[in-house]
Structures are given as C-alpha cells and as structure tokens.
Amino acid sequence: MFVLFLLGTVFLLCPYWGNLQDTLKETEIMCYKCRKYHLGLCYDVMKSCTLKHKQSCAVENIYILTRKGKSMYHYSKLSCMTNCEDINFLGFEKRTELICCNHSNYCNLPEGL
C-alpha cells in the first residue's frame, strides 16, 4: 500500500519537474570569462561561466608601474572565482586589483577602463 502511495506521488510531481528546473536555472548568475580584456575587446575567446557555491564574478585589473610610481592600466582578466575578495596586490613592476561581484549577471565587465 505504501509503495502505491509513493508511486502516485511521483506521478503527480513529474509534470512539474521541468518547471522546477527552469526556476532553478533562472536564479543562476552568469559572468564573463576572458584571459585578456582591454578597452571593450576580448583578445582571447569571450566565454561565460555560471557561478557555483562560494563563487563570485571576478575582474582582475593589471596595471604596470612606471618609474615614477604611477599605475598605468594594461589589461583585465574576467572569470568566475571561488572565495573571491576585493584586494590590491602590489609588486615591483605591476599592481593587480581584484574586484568581485555576484549581484547581477555579467557584473564583472570593467567600467571606465
């Protein structure tokens, strides 16, 4: 009797399975993915990635340091990154700025560069 009850429940829920999957897909956040992005162009293949658990869209802005200590924008890397945190890395010849976001689709497109 219990088996018949379970079987009936499965048949009742099956017509709604596709709707449940569509709802889950609508909440996924998409990000741009490019190894070398500069002035609105991807100098590689522009792809996209879907955020997984503990991931954020990320943009790594690479700057070259001049002899006078100023930063000159060089290019950006776009990706999905796990445990992403906004941070600046400063080396002897370059500076890397990491910016993370997950508030909307394709939020990792650099602005004003």
- Model confidence pLDDT, tens digit, residues 22-71: 444 557 999 999 999 999 999 999 999 999 999 999 999 999 999 998 99
Sorted by where each begins, the domain ranges of the chain are: 29-101
pLDDT for the residue numbered 22 = 47
Q: Measuring CA to CA, which residue among 93, 48, 87, 98 is closest to residue 69? A: 93
Which pLDDT band, with edges at 50, 70 and 90, does 3 fall under?
very low
Q: How far apart are CA 89 and CA 106, in angstroms?
A: 24
Check residues 22 and 78 and name the one with the higher pLDDT.
Answer: 78
Q: Which of 22-26, 40-44, 73-77, 100-104 has the lowest mean pLDDT?
A: 22-26
